Amino acid sequence: MHQVASIFHAISLPRIDFHDDLGNHTRCLPLLLLWHIFFWWVATAMAETKFQKLGRRSPSEYSLEVEDCCMFGNVISWHPLKLTICWLVLLILLTISYSSKEPDVEGEALIDFLKVLNDSKSQISDWNYNLVSPCFSWSHITCRNGNVISLSLGSKGFSGTLSPSITKLKFLVSLELQDNNLSGVLPDYLASMAQLQNLNLANNNFSGSIPTTWGQLPSLKHLVLRGNHLSGTIPDSIANITGLTELDLSSNDLSGRIPVQLFSILSFNFTGTRLTCDPGMEQPCVSRPPLPVSTRKSKLGVVVTSASCGAFLLLSLGAMFAYLHHYVHKLKHDVFVDVAGEDDRKISFSQLRRFSLRELQLATENFSESNMIGQGGFGKVYKGVLSDNTKVAVKRLTDYNSPGGEAAFQREVQLISVAVHRNLLQLIGFCTTSSERILVYPFMQNLSVAYRLRELKPGEKGLDWPTRKRVAFGAAHGLEYLHEHCNPKIIHRDLKAANILLDDDFEAVLGDFGLAKLVDTKLTHVTTQVRGTMGHIAPEYLHTGKSSEKTDVFGYGITLLELVTGQRAVDLSRLDEEENVLLLDHII
C-alpha cells in the first residue's frame, strides 16, 4: 500500500484552489474533475505496470486512500469499469455545462434578425435557438475566432425589413441581402458597425434617402444599393469614406450633383438615376467598371520560369501571348459573343440574347393576329411564350432599312440595350434575318396606359389620379434619361400613351424608345424619315423632318392631355359633331 501511495505522490498532482477566479465559475467544475481524474488515471496505469513487474496485486484491486492528492480527499476505488463510467459521466457534465450556459449574444441577434426579415418560405431552417453558437452548424454564416464575420442571405425571398439586432454582431465584416423583397428606409444604426466592409442591399424595395450617418463607417469598401427606390441626393459624408473602392447606386431615383470625390473610386455606377456631374469633367460621369486584377506577379513568375527553359520556350510563350492579345482585342470590338454549345445564340455585355426566327414563330404561333397586342409607327407587337414559359412581347419591325445591313442593326441594338433605367423597357433580345428585324421585350401584364384609359374590360382596374400622376413623373424621368444621360442621346419620336407600359406595380415603363435614331451629342437635331403617330407628332418635325428633344417634349405634352382627359390624340368619331378631331385643337 505504501508503494502505491508513493507512486501517486510522484505524479505531483496540481492543487487547485476553489477560491480563485477559475473556481468561482460553476461551468468549469467538469473540467476540473476531468483534470484530476486524468492524473489519477495516469498514476493508476503506472502502478498497474509496476505491480505486474513485482508479481503482486494491481492497484485496481485495492481501495486506495490518498491524502492531499484528491480534490475532495475521499476514498476512490479505481476499478476499470468504474473508471469508464466516471469518464462517461464527466463527458455528460461537460455537454450539459456548455449547452446550458447563457444564450449566445450573436445567436440571439441572428434569430431576431431572421424574424424581422420574414422568412415566409422557410429558406433558413437550420438556425436553431437551442444550439449555443451560430458558428457550429448554421448555414450562410462565416465565423472567425468564434465570432460571426459574414452573413450571406441573397436571393432568399425575404419580404420584411432590417432589424436593429444586426448591430449586435460587433465583428461583422460582410452583409449581403441582395435580390430579396426587403422594404423600408435604410437604417441609421448600421453606422455603428465599425468592422463592416461589404454592404450589398441591391435589388430590393428600400426607399427614402441614403443615411448621412453611413459616412461614419470607417472600414466600408463595397457599397451596393442598385435597383431600389432610393431618392434624394448622395450625402457628402459618403464621399468622405476614404477606403471605399466600389459604389453602385444605379437604377434608383436619386438626383442632384455627384460629389466630385466619388470619381476617384475604382468602380462606380450611377446609371438609371437622375444624378448629374459638374460640367467640364473629364472623368466618365455615369459608370466606371472594376479594374482588372493585376497579374504582375504571375507574369514575373512566367518570365523567370521561361528563362530557365531556354529560347524555344520563350518564343512559344511570345507566340501564345501575341495570339491571346489579338483574341482579346478582337473581343473588345465585337459586340456579340458566342455562347458555348449554341451556334445561333449570342450574348452581349448586358446579357442580350439572339433568338432564331423559328423560336419566335413558335412563341407567337407564327405571328398570329390573335396574339397581336399593339401596332405603331414601327411595326406590330405580339404576345409570345418562350419554351421556358417566359412571357415576352415580340415587336416585328416593318420597313426597317439600315444602311449598314445586319451589322449596323446589331450595333444599334447594342446601344439600345445599355440604356438601363427603371422607367425604360429593357430589351431582352433580337432576331435578324435577310428579311426580318425583330425585337424581344418582357411582357407587361398591365399592358399600356392607353389600354387602362380607354380599352378596359369589365372588372379590370383603371387609373386613379395618384397613379396617373405617378405615370406622368415616371415617363418624364425615362425621357430625361434618354435625352441627358445617353451618349449619344436618344430621341424617342413616338411618345404616346400606348408606348407607356405599366409594370406589376403600375409604374410607368417607356417603350419603343430603342427604335428612334441615335443623335450625336454635338448635333442639335437629326433629319430622318418622319415616323410617329398622328396627333403626337410635333408640327416642325412633320414639316421639316428634323427631330430634337423638343419633338419628344411636344409628344409628352399630348400624352399628359391623354392622361387627364382619357381621350385619344386623334378621334375621328368627333367628325359627326365637330370639325376638330385632334385632341390638342379640341382642348384649345
Sequence ranges of the binding site for ATP: 395
Cα 16 to Cα 20, 43, 375, 578: the distances in Å are 8, 18, 91, 108
Is there a catalytic annotation at residue 388?
no
Q: Which residue has the cell 463527458?
A: 91
Distance (Å, rounded) from C-alpha 138 to C-alpha 288? 37
Amino acid at 301: G
Annotated binding site: 395
Distance (Å, rounded) from C-alpha 585 to C-alpha 534? 13
Distance (Å, rounded) from C-alpha 510 to C-alpha 492? 10
Q: What dihedral angle (degrees, nearest 10) is formed by the CA atoms of 275, 278, 281, 284? A: 0
Contact 352, 428 (CB under 8 A): yes
Length of the chain: 588
Q: Which residue has the cell 418560405?
A: 121
Q: Which residue has the cell 379590370?
A: 460
Q: Is the peptide bond before 14 cis (omega within 30 degrees of 0)?
A: no
Distance (Å, rounded) from C-alpha 299 to C-alpha 296? 5
**Cα atoms in the Cβ-side hemisphere of radius 13 Å centred on 318:** 7
Residues 6+ apart with CB under 8 A from 572: 581
Interstrand relation of 500-502 and 437-442 (parallel, antiparallel or unpaired): unpaired
List, as one string, the DSSP characters of 61-73: GSEE--TTTSSS-
Provide the 3-class DSSP secondary structure of residue 515: helix
Output the CA torsion sign for 52, 56, 57, 58: negative
Alpha carbon 486 to chain centroid, angstroms: 24
Amino acid at 9: H
Contact 146, 170 (CB under 8 A): no
Crossing angle of helices 465-484 and 549-565, rounded to 10° = 170
Eight-class DSSP state of 285: S
Provide the 3-class DSSP secondary structure of residue 135: coil
- Look up residue 432 and give its three cell numbers: 435578324
Q: Looking at 494, 504, 512, 576, which residue is catalytic? A: 494
Contact 250, 227 (CB under 8 A): yes
Starting at the edge strand that comes first in sequence, how are the strands of the sheet with 174-176 ordered? 141-144, 147-152, 174-176, 198-200, 222-224, 246-248, 267-269, 287-288
By annotation, the residues acting in catalysis are: 494
